[in-house]
Structure 1
Amino acid sequence: MELNDQTEILNEASAFFKKGELKSAEPLINQLILDGHKSAEVFHMLGTILYDQGKFNKAIRSFRRALELDPFYTDASIGLSIILNDLGRYEEGRKVFEEAQVMLAQKSAKEDPYIEEKLAIKHDELGELYCQYRRYDEGLEQYERALQLSSRVPELTMKIVDCLENLNRLTEAEAQLKSLVKTYPDFFNARTKLGKIYYEQNKIPEAIDAWENVLSRDPNHAQAKKLLAQAQNIEFIPAQEPYL
């Protein structure tokens, strides 16, 4: 097949693929491969289609072939790591993902925000997996890596705080929340969480102050109302008279 013909077929297959019309893209991709076309994009698309069909082993081979052709093809790395995680091969998935980051760092010192965010999303997903199985240390590590790459600072910081809370590292959780509240003063969920962390450290007055601060700005904040009421009930229960 002439090069121009292959380019035309690739463009058509790519257009179908981007629109999610995988059944239309598949025969075109197979035709390109049969004709000896070798590009990471083609094998990445094939891997995605095979994954969608539940043909995981074939999908893994396609993604690995894409990475052989272009080790910097981030989408193939992400696709491969997702499949490995789906199959419970978490360590392999993490290794693939981390290798992709190294390759990207070697390729260019200039950061690409789009790629950085895609990598951050993957770290976020891995963090959620670890936390699902109560492996909070490893979850914390993944969330911290995601935070280094992402602009989603409030969301990821709150996940970091949840891990620290589960690990009983309350002083660190408090520091994270104080920094977050300073940068995002209107992020009331962070202020409410800070009150909860104070409360868990028996800093009752500080906790009450944090929740009252939230309610002064958002009187209908349900969680702050609930936590404040609970704290005030404990704070102001009168001491019982001793029995004589």
Structure 2
Amino acid sequence: MENDELFQTAKELFDADKYAQAETLLNQLILQNRKSPHVFQMLGTIYYDQGKFTKAIRAFRRAIEIDPSFTDASLGLSIILNDLGKYEEGRKVFEEAQVMLQKKSAEDDPYVNEKLALKHDELGELYVHYNRYKEALDQYFKALSLSTRRPEITMKIVDCFKTLGEYDKAFKELRDLIKQYPMFIGARLKLGKFHFEKGDVIAAIEAWEGVLERDPENAEAARLLKQAQAKDLTSFNEIHPN
């Protein structure tokens, strides 16, 4: 039986209160190095049900060592300690579990994440204002990890890389952004400008034609495309004079 299949079977047996069968499979998982907090938490619960408190405490503590934010194991451990009369220790474990639960809830809260992202974004702009682009990049990447405003923040990252002369990184960020958001016109416009500035007129033309395919009325793309086509024609005439 494959590792994942074994875990799923053990969990189903555990959920069905078939603890003896589940225990056998869970111990097999540990022997196979599947040492997840869920495995030890289930074993801790089984040992508690069997009255094997020392084993249960050890299993719950192992689950918490693997993942301190795994509150199911913390609460299980707290209950056993209280049952054994270790009220102060049980209270401490419970309070730590509450703190981790609150922290986890905050980390998973989109509103909180967006507020924090906004602060990192603002700090990034402040660094840019003082020409401290490396520090700005650090803040923008932190904002990016928290925010749903990926296109907007990535464009700021691209500008920082360009200013620092790191064109390869700027190009990569733009290409990745376009791949993820193919209808984001701003990224395609900027990619064309980068190509044009680097002297790759054909690539610039392709980028701006891509904009007009998606937004035929885009005046900026039309203007830039006309400029690039004129330059391309001039270059062709210089290479192939009549």
Aligned length: 139
| Mapped contact 1:131–1:139 kept (Cα < 8 A) | yes
Q: Which residue of 2 aligns with 1:145?
A: 142
Give the Cα separation in 1 of the matches to 2:169 and 2:125.
Answer: 20
Cα distance, 1:235–1:114 mapped onto 2, change above 3 Å: same
Give the Cα separation in 2 of the matches to 1:155 and 1:138.
Answer: 18
Give the Cα separation in 2 of the matches to 1:177 and 1:240.
Answer: 32
Give the Cα separation in 2 of the matches to 1:241 and 1:224.
Answer: 28
Q: Which residue of 1 aligns with 2:205?
A: 208
| Mapped contact 1:170–1:201 kept (Cα < 8 A) | no
Give the Cα separation in 2 of the matches to 1:192 and 1:113.
Answer: 30
- Which structure would you say has the larger Rg? 2
Shift of 1:108: 1.8
Give the Cα separation in 2 of the matches to 1:126 and 1:105.
Answer: 28
Can you give the 5+ residue segments of structure 2 that lack an aligned partner in the other structure?
A: 1-98
One-letter amino acid matched to 1:119: L
Please, which of 176, 179, 187 is the counterpart of residue 179 of structure 1? 176
One-letter amino acid matched to 1:109: K
SS in 2 for 1:220: coil
Please, which of 108, 116, 121 is the counterpart of residue 118 of structure 2? 121
One-letter amino acid matched to 2:112: I
Give the Cα separation in 2 of the matches to 1:187 and 1:175.
Answer: 16
Report the RMSD for the aligned CA atoms in angstroms. 2.3
Please, which of 104, 108, 125 is the counterpart of residue 109 of structure 1? 104
Shift of 1:202: 2.3
Shift of 1:182: 0.9
| Mapped contact 1:192–1:210 kept (Cα < 8 A) | yes
TM-score of the pair, normalised by structure 1: 0.52
Give the Cα separation in 2 of the matches to 1:216 and 1:209.
Answer: 10
Encode CA deviations 1:134-173: one digit per residue, 9 max, x unaligned: 2211111111110011111111011111111111111111
One-letter amino acid matched to 1:239: E
| Equivalent runs, 1:35-54 vs 2, <5 Å | none
Cα distance, 1:187–1:236 mapped onto 2, change above 3 Å: same
SS in 1 for 2:104: coil
Give the Cα separation in 1 of the matches to 2:158 and 2:123.
Answer: 16
Q: Which residue of 2 aligns with 1:85?
A: none
Does residue 141 of structure 2 align to residue 169 of structure 1? no
Shift of 1:210: 0.7
Please, which of 215, 220, 223 is the counterpart of residue 223 of structure 1? 220
% of aligned pairs identical?
51
Give the Cα separation in 2 of the matches to 1:205 and 1:227.
Answer: 12
One-letter amino acid matched to 2:147: S
Give the Cα separation in 1 of the matches to 2:136 and 2:110.
Answer: 23
One-letter amino acid matched to 2:162: E
One-letter amino acid matched to 1:195: G
TM-score of the pair, normalised by structure 2: 0.53
Q: Which residue of 1 aligns with 2:153?
A: 156
Q: Which residue of 2 aligns with 1:239?
A: 238
Encode CA deviations 1:195-218: one digit per residue, 9 max, x unaligned: 112222322211110101111221
Can you give the 5+ residue segments of structure 1 that lack an aligned partner in the other structure?
A: 1-103
